[in-house]
Amino acid sequence: MSQPQQASVRNRLLQVLPPDDFTRLAPHLDAQPIKLREVLIPADEPISHAYFIEEGLCSIIGHTAEGRLEIGTVGYDGFVGTPLVLGTDRTPHVSMVQGEGMALRIPAAALRAAFDESATMRGVLGRYVQSLIVQVGQTVYANAELNIEGRLARWILMIHDRLQKDEMPLTHDFLALILGVRRPGVTTSVHILEGAGMIKAMRGRVRVLDREKMMDLAGDTYGVAEAEYERLLAEA
């Protein structure tokens, strides 16, 4: 099996790694399709692999007394398996594929070894972890301050950024999961955004029509984490 070439990868973290660091990882990177609802990292079990997303989407999901709730979103901007670079081998959260695509998978031991050997790799991956922390913080802020329509607009913007497609696979059941609300509330909110000309809802899919209106609705819950990611990536 041929090794991936840095010039051809789409994952933004792998793109900005110094060539020597990418060379450390390349022999261990294995291209794998990621399928809808596939669990990449289960809760409270040793993490066997990390995944650098090339295409698609993964949700980090927490379990609450009232059900499941998405707390983080990872696309080609990042990687799934951040506990491995924080000195632990497991997490209480589930990482589940919400948009089919492809990832470069690497064994946990190989990632940890490369991380330990290289200060520059620690700089890149550590900055990504910081950006993910900011994203989670903004999600908490959005859940506390916005109504369902505002939270839905923010989330669609985040998915639009990561999938880079105007038409995205989104079911009402999935939206209820990521927003932590009942399905009827999602249905009503989708109709409101559609009526305002922000999106076009189809069976199992949503098309983005007006980002500016959705950004206005999401307010300052959207944009802070995105700007921090770009700042940290530029530093790396």
Confidence of residue 122 (pLDDT cuts 50, 70, 90): very high
- Distances, alpha carbon 212 to alpha carbons 43, 101, 189, in Å: 37, 27, 18
Number of domains observed in the structure of the chain: 2
Confidence of residue 180 (pLDDT cuts 50, 70, 90): confident
Give the global pTM. 0.93
99 and 168 assigned to the same domain: no
- Residues spanned by the domain of 98: 6-142+230-235
203 and 101 assigned to the same domain: no
- Coil, strand or helix at 133: helix
| CATH number for 132 | 2.60.120.10
- Name which of 16, 63, 66, 19 is nearest 42 in CA terms: 63
Task: Write the pLDDT tens digit of every residue in 125-151.
Answer: 999 999 999 999 999 999 889 999 999
